[in-house]
Chains A and B, each alone.
Chain A
């Protein structure tokens, strides 16, 4: 098993919590993990990414080579495109459709989505709206993780357990909110793939 994942977003959007849950789930399954993060200046509203590598064999590099990523998981649509040179031809791009506009020259959102749809395998979802409708606006991240879950080679139960252990200290209410977000993301991905 080998999954090389690029997590993308804008500083402050919380991509690291997605990485932490996948990482926890992988470690609990006895899978090797390496995860490179961005700290420091870029966290102030700049573009940020995390390279998350999972493998049943020991992993050499902390960084994913060009053209070898198995998926891009992005919480922001334009950011999902920034890492296309890393994506392998058969890989999946999973992205939120809600833009984070903090620059004056942000492109037209339709043009961004048109570029996203050029990627052969993609899942697009308005995670912010789905999370809000489910009554947990702050768990858009987990909706996106749910949408990416079919491609992770990690069982849903293991991901759910990782969510429980990560959010456990924040109380049962927060845990259930995030579990619910994970499930609606998964349902949407399943539906998009059968279409």
Chain B
């Protein structure tokens, strides 16, 4: 066995290589990005011919993975939690079709919203879809669960979800790896109508999915990812999910907790273990890294059963990620907080990089908008969302991938003319193209700025599917060629850029302005490498 120091994300990636995957599909999104990057950079994966592709969005990733599973090979699809909203249609339906080759869906949640718009908990999706969910508490478990997840998927012929959170994704620890195994050969499903979800077939498949649930619960009782730890103090029992177990242990120097514990790492929930805990203890304290899924389940709507504590009764905070201190307070231990932060310490929010092309685009847009009332700029998800903050303060919305164009159209329909959309090149190909088609068909009086920095900047410079194609795509969607304007966002071009934006704001129809200049981060990286190679 080899011991490597890996990020949680990297442990998952290495495990997938070792477990014999043939492909990984993903759209970059914090905190999931490093999984796919690791496989893309792995010489081992390249030698094995593993496909490691960024896709247009999470939906296309999920569907491509489903196709690979159909063809009998093991495949993994990775996304951040909100990406699962985009992939929800194929994800939910993949539970009805079932899998052929092992199919693992990794959804990386971001409680406390370190880099996200919400802190939704992917376990609800897994439960909704009726698929097994695995939730590791450390990097080694993450590694082990990937191998097991593929076996589980192939045994039950079902997709399996691996749910992780930011702290695990972006924390390193030692991981012991296991011997590698071969990829599957191509083999079609024995029933060639398994993936045809016509109502008559879907009804049958759905009954089949329901009939497997009891076996999945039995599996949860016996695999070792859910464990019952005996306790002597019966005044309470504790249920932990994911990383909460570590925070509980951190509060006991000798790791000996007086209370009985059910450590959850696999769903559906192990009913026998939880029943044993409920029978033995006066109350149950549920510590979940995420939303109160288990707690709500146990408490019930009327709270008539066993006494349950957790996020719903205020024993733990209702929102945000857990940490050792929050758990200490819930256990009644003293707060160990040290000196307060001195008052002079100023907050330091993230900001656009010095030399960022978006800054020049926004300065020009701000000036062009001066003659209109405020509140007309709908933006999107990416580095350019930082223009909501001082000094630029250019934008008025950031909701979900692609919402800039469609919200601008809705506002224009309501009479807010001109309305402006600001979207990045990669976000545009992710989810902006369909909205632009709507706007073109209805001749909406909107001006769309597609900020083309030729990369997926916020997540660290992954390739953008829009690269070199934006003008063609926009033309193909039906935007009139004379209202497609390519600008170079540089200070020296400021006056002519303001002029171009102003002209298009005056046009009573769809205009697309494409300020084009490479991301300063990828440019610097490229130049460094060029310099190094020349040396």
Please list the residues of chain A having a beta carbon within 8 angstroms of any beta carbon in chain B: 10-11, 23-24, 27, 32-47, 59-68, 78-79, 81-82, 84-89, 102-103, 105-107, 111-112, 115, 119
Contact = CB atoms under 8 A, between A and B. Distances in A.
Given A34-B171, A35-B171, A36-B172, 8 more contacts: A11-B350, A40-B114, A46-B351, A47-B347, A59-B173, A61-B324, A103-B349, A107-B345
A67 B34 contact: no
B115 A40 contact: yes
B325 A66 contact: yes
B314 interface: no
B342 A81 contact: yes
Contact of B325 (A37, A43, A65): A65
Given A42-B114, A63-B167, A33 B348 contact: no
Contacts of A68: 336
Given A27-B174, A40-B458, A102 B348 contact: yes
A82 B340 CA distance: 9
Contacts of B33: 39
A66 B337 contact: yes
Nearest to A42: B350
B275 interface: no
Given A61-B246, A65-B336, A82 B341 contact: yes
Contacts of A62: 167-168, 171, 173, 243, 246
B137 to A, nearest CB: 10
Interface string B154-190: 0000000000000110111110000000000000000
Contact of B324 (A35, A46, A63): A63
Contacts of A32: 173-174
Contact of B336 (A38, A66, A105): A66
B345 A61 contact: no
B339 interface: yes
Contacts of A79: 348
Given A61-B250, A62-B168, A105-B346, A40 B459 contact: yes
Interface string B239-276: 00001001101110001000000000000000000000
A82 B30 CA distance: 24
B337 A85 contact: yes
Nearest to B335: A66
Contact of A33 (B172, B353, B386): B172
A60 B459 contact: no
B350 to A, nearest CB: 4
Given A23-B5, A45-B353, A85 B339 contact: yes
Given A65-B325, A84-B338, A88-B338, A34 B350 contact: no
B49 to A, nearest CB: 26
A88 B460 CA distance: 35
Contacts of A47: 347-348
Contact of B349 (A33, A46, A59, A89): A46
Contact of A39 (B31, B339, B383): B31
Nearest to A60: B249
B323 interface: yes
Contact of A40 (B30, B251, B335, B342): B30
B87 interface: no
A82 B338 CA distance: 12
Interface string B73-96: 000000000000000000000000
B323 A34 contact: no
B227 interface: no
Contacts of A27: 5, 174
B306 interface: no
Nearest to A44: B350
Interface core residue of B7, B173, B250, B352 (most chain A CB under 10 Å): B173
B339 A84 contact: yes
